[in-house]
Amino acid sequence: MSGNVSWREVMPELELLEREPLRAHTTFRVGGPARWFLRPKDEAEAAEILRRCHEAGIKPFFLGNGSNVLAADDGFDGVVVSTAGLDNLTLGENGAIVAGSGVSLARLANVAAQNALTGLEFAQGIPGSVGGGTRMNAGAYGGELSGAVRWVEALAETGEKRRLSREECRFSYRHSLFCEEHLLVTAVCFGLEPGDREEIQAVMAELARRRREKQPLEYPSAGSTFKRPEGHFAAALIDQCALKGLRIGGAQVSEKHAGFVVNVDNATAADVLAVMDEVRRRVAAQTGVTLEPEVEILD
């Protein structure tokens, strides 16, 4: 099987799209078509997709909410596996919540709050999914997902199921085992503590207020564009170099928060990359610090 063979012939029940524009599936609202866009409805279907890709020598790209992805203007001439259909969420005992990788972090945090469970308040405003957030150990306002993870279930390239403890996931700043090994996260168990529902919701409301006040939520973006350099803050360095408002084509360094590159007017991926490259060049020249992209490039 290759990229030119119809998936409809081998998995007729599979939800799939051909030549699907990736701009419709990324928060940057940028990107050309994916040759095949597959959306498994459950873990078994996802495992079968991976097995067939492995046998054919195809390395699929795993896509959650697309909140940390910049897709190329020419698109992706391969297989994209969307986790949107893996969206089951169940409450367990002793503060456990098991969430499918396609569950949004906002939904996860809200369910936790509704059930008076504390530990994920920071995640409500992160525009990603459980799978993608776990892969990059997403965090905000002093919290990281790894702090609440008990175990992660994932599929290997062969479709074999694995369960990994938090320690086995090798979490660090914006990194995990899943950045190193080609594993598809399918479900995550979070262990939370009992708390006061009203206090939890008050914390979430305050963090939401701070996000609205400080972040350019009115424009499409991938959130923080660069990782935090050791001993520094990316946004502070960019601001220090007077780069707020730097614009190339339809992409711009946010005038509200220097850590964000935003799509202000039908930006292309080339526009975004040009802004990122110019920011990195000027920051390195003026401060000696090399900024590393946090956003993942799909081309």
Task: State the catalytic residue, choosing from 15, 255, 278, 294.
Answer: 294
DSSP three-state, residue 193: strand
Q: What is the helix (H) or strand (E) element at residue 205, kind and residue range? A: helix 197-214
Task: State the catalytic residue, choosing from 29, 174, 228, 280.
Answer: 174
176 is catalytic: no
User: How many CA atoms, within 13 angstroms, populate the side-chain half-sphere of residue 192?
Assistant: 29
294 is catalytic: yes
The Cα 282–Cα 285 span in angstroms is 5
Beta bridge partners of 39: 15
> Are 177 and 169 in contact, with CB atoms under 8 Å apart?
yes
DSSP 209-251: HHHHHHS-TTS-EEEE-BPPPTTS-HHHHHHHTT-TT-EETTE
212 is catalytic: no
With both helix axes pointing from N to C terminus, report the angle between 105-114 and 197-214 in degrees, rounded to the nearest 10. Answer: 150
Nearest Cα neighbor of 228 from 104, 132, 106, 144 is 144
The Cα 249–Cα 245 span in angstroms is 12
The two structure tokens encoding residue 45: 């279907």
Task: State the catalytic residue, choosing from 224, 228, 254, 280.
Answer: 224
Q: Which residues are catalytic?
A: 174, 224, 294
